């Protein structure tokens, strides 16, 4: 390997960094800080066209020395008690013998071993180097977010010595034996290792989070929003963060020129009089949202207010603004849930994800045809890249005449995790925080409306994080109707898909508490099962649970034949309306296409 002055300086910096980290594994500059500073500097220096033309080599050359050290050493760290040989198993699609990414593989002295393993059908090649006892620090997977994240094998360098690995950071890292059948990504939907070479067999496998591959993007990261915020409030969204009978959550956005917000509201009965009453004013909580990827508007404010002590079953008019005389939006309305059970309707939609203008037409038809629907359920993948704010700007822009009048009840899909944890999902929705303690707030929750219980789950997470809470929530409710919404289907529509780990964990709970409908997305082709119990069809809807998969956006998939399919079709975005009637406890379900044609329907009675 050619040694240059620059590489010597870099190695010295890395050595100093690792020494300063010490046994406590501190960090003089974190990966997050390095990415943040690099992103802000790049966005402030180059045009969007120039940013989109960058390569791994050109973006690496833009890094400061401190950023280069952090991004080359501080992504994965652990302590070893003896000298070791560390193998980085890297997705072969990055290229050989010199991979295009990550930049630190060669700079850190890792060399190709010629060893390969298979994971999830993809070949991974091993690059290795020796480390003394102490701290081992490894860098980011890539700046492009392409392909799969590397995983790590560690072996004692001297035969007979017993290796111990401690102080793994991030703390979610796990270890297991590197062998056939082991999983580099400890998730049930990823295939295990195959074709393990003898040299790696028995080593310690450091398992990683597959989602990390997109968290360090500097390429294909920058964009512009088509719908930038202004000083005037827009993208108003109604949600529930408390009891639907007596509270109403309202959230909107503004540009940074407007730093505060308020809601003015009034009972419609008091508004529609010759001498209207005086509205109540509620100050909003204003939060600065920083998204450096949006180069034409990297910052904006969200404003969130919760109206409390409302009257059940009552319609209110409201406006949002900055609190000044001329700073208010036009009036809109919302209606609280009834005090006692009454007939009601709601809309359920599967993945939006792509094609917002077309989806807007579907949404507007649902609102126009069924203005009586009290709220809208969205089953996840509401956008395509969940940590790209421009996509949320577009979603809410195209829902602007509906979501400010009807409450939105969202779930988290896998695309909300695109680019890292669903931080923007949590920032965009003001939701209940009554889910399991083991799940981040707003990603799982429940509420009751009328005589029905609604439970929303995050099916991206290990099901055991929800199961106890789910069992308790369903068991403690005496609601007549019980609905669960989640993104990944228990009974899949798409070819080659089967989320058996979710079915194993949650099907017994659904059966035990007789959940009526499970509303899902993910597979982008419509499927409804017949009533199911104990993973088998049963004759009557009164005996079992019905599972639905739907899609509302323009990304559409094929469908496989399944024994559990009662109704299935492809290439058709739909919205579903569910009507709950009190007489005889009757539920009527209908699925409609964009032209208003009924594509599926059934009735369930209790």
Q: For position 274, what pLDDT does the model report? A: 65
Domain count within the chain: 2
DSSP SS3 for 45: helix
CATH code (residue 564): 3.60.21.10
Structural domain includes residue 435: yes
pTM equals 0.90
The Cα 43–Cα 46 span in angstroms is 6
| Cα 318 versus chain centre, distance | 31
Structural domain includes residue 242: no
Range of lowest pLDDT (11-20, 280-289, 331-340, 399-408):
11-20
Beta-carbon contacts of residue 512 (< 8 Å; ≥ 6 apart)? 471, 474, 475
DSSP SS3 for 587: strand
Total count of residues recorded for the chain = 606
Judgement on whether residues 381 and 529 belong to the same structural domain of the protein? yes
Q: For position 313, what pLDDT does the model report? A: 97
Tens of pLDDT, residue by residue over 454-485, are 999 999 999 999 999 999 999 999 999 999 99
The Cα 523–Cα 489 span in angstroms is 8
Q: Which of 214, 234, 266 is the last residue of a domain?
A: 214
Structural domain includes residue 265: no
Structural domain includes residue 32: yes
Structural domain includes residue 335: no
Q: Which of 214, 248, 265 is the last residue of a domain?
A: 214
Tens of pLDDT, residue by residue over 39-73, are 999 999 999 999 999 999 999 999 999 999 999 99
Q: For 296-337, give the DSSP string.
A: T--EEEEEEEEE-SPPTT-EEEEEEESSSTT-BPPPEEEEPP
Structural domain includes residue 137: yes
| Cα 526 versus chain centre, distance | 22
Q: Indicate the pLDDT class of residue 121, thresholds 50, 70 and 90.
A: confident
Residue 278 has pLDDT above 80, yes or no: yes
The Cα 429–Cα 392 span in angstroms is 11
Structural domain includes residue 332: no
Judgement on whether residues 204 and 348 belong to the same structural domain of the protein? no
Query: Buried (b) or exposed (e) across 80-95, using 16+ Cβ within 10 A?
Result: bebebbbbbbbbbebe
Q: Which of 155, 180, 214 is the last residue of a domain?
A: 214
Residue 581 has pLDDT above 70, yes or no: yes
Q: For position 203, what pLDDT does the model report? A: 97
Radius of gyration of the chain (CA): 27
Q: Indicate the pLDDT class of residue 582, thresholds 50, 70 and 90.
A: confident
Backbone φ, ψ for residue 406 (5° rounding): -130, 140
Structural domain includes residue 411: yes
Q: Which domain holds residue 370?
A: 343-605
């Amino acid at each position: 390997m050619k040694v240059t002055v620059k590489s010597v300086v870099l190695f010295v910096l890395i050595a100093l960094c690792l020494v300063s980290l010490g046994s406590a594994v501190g960090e003089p500059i974190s990966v997050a800080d390095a990415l943040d500073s690099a992103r802000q500097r790049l966005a402030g220096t180059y045009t969007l066209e120039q940013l989109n033309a960058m390569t791994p080599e050109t973006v690496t050359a833009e890094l400061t020395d401190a950023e280069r050290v952090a991004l080359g050493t501080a992504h994965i760290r652990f302590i070893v008690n003896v000298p070791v040989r560390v193998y980085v198993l890297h997705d072969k699609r990055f290229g050989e013998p010199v991979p295009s990414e990550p930049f630190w593989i060669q700079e850190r002295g890792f060399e190709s071993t010629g060893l390969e393993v298979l994971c999830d059908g993809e070949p991974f090649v091993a690059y290795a180097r020796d480390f003394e006892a102490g701290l081992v620090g490894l860098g980011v997977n890539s700046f492009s977010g392409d392909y799969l994240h590397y995983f790590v094998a560690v072996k004692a360098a001297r035969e007979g010595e017993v290796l111990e690995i401690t102080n793994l950071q991030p703390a979610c890292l796990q270890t297991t034996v590197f062998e056939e059948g082991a999983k580099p990504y400890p998730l049930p939907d990823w295939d295990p290792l195959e074709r393990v070479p003898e040299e790696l067999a028995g080593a310690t496998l450091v398992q990683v989070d597959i989602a990390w591959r997109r968290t360090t993007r500097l390429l294909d990261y920058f964009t512009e929003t088509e719908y930038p915020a202004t000083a005037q409030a827009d993208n108003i969204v109604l949600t529930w963060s408390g009891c639907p009978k007596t509270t109403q959550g309202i959230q909107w956005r503004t540009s940074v020129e407007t730093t505060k917000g308020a809601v003015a509201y009034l009972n419609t009965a008091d508004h529609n009089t010759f001498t209207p009453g005086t509205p109540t004013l509620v100050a909003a909580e204003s939060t600065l949202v920083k998204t450096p990827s949006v180069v034409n508007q990297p910052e904006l404010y969200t404003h969130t207010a919760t109206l409390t002590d409302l009257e059940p079953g009552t319609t209110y008019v409201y406006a949002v603004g900055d609190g000044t005389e001329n700073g208010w939006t036009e009036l809109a309305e919302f209606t609280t849930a009834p005090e006692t059970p009454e007939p009601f309707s709601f809309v359920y939609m599967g993945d939006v994800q792509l094609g917002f203008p077309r989806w807007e037409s579907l949404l507007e038809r649902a609102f126009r045809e069924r203005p009586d629907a009290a709220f809208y359920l969205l089953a996840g993948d509401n956008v395509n890249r969940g940590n790209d704010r421009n996509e949320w700007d577009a979603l809410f822009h195209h829902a602007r005449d509906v979501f400010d009048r009807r409450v939105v009840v969202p779930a988290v899909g896998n695309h909300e995790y695109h680019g890292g944890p669903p931080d923007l999902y949590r920032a965009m929705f003001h939701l209940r925080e009554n889910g399991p303690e083991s799940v981040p707030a707003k990603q799982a929750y429940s509420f009751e409306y009328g005589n029905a219980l609604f439970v929303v789950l995050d099916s991206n997470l290990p099901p055991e994080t929800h199961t106890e809470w789910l069992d308790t929530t369903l068991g403690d409710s005496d609601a007549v109707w019980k609905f669960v919404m989640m993104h990944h289907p228990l009974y899949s529509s798409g070819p080659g898909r089967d989320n058996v780990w979710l079915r194993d964990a949650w099907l017994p709970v659904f059966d035990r508490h007789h959940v009526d409908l499970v509303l899902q997305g993910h597979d982008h082709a419509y499927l409804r099962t017949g009533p199911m119990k104990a993973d088998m069809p049963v004759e009557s809807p009164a005996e079992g649970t019905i599972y639905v998969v739907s899609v509302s956006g323009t990304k559409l998939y094929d469908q496989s034949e399944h024994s559990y399919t009662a109704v299935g079709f492809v290439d058709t975005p739909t919205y579903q309306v569910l009507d709950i009637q009190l007489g005889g406890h009757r539920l009527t379900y209908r699925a409609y296409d964009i032209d208003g044609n009924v594509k599926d329907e059934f009735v369930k009675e209790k």
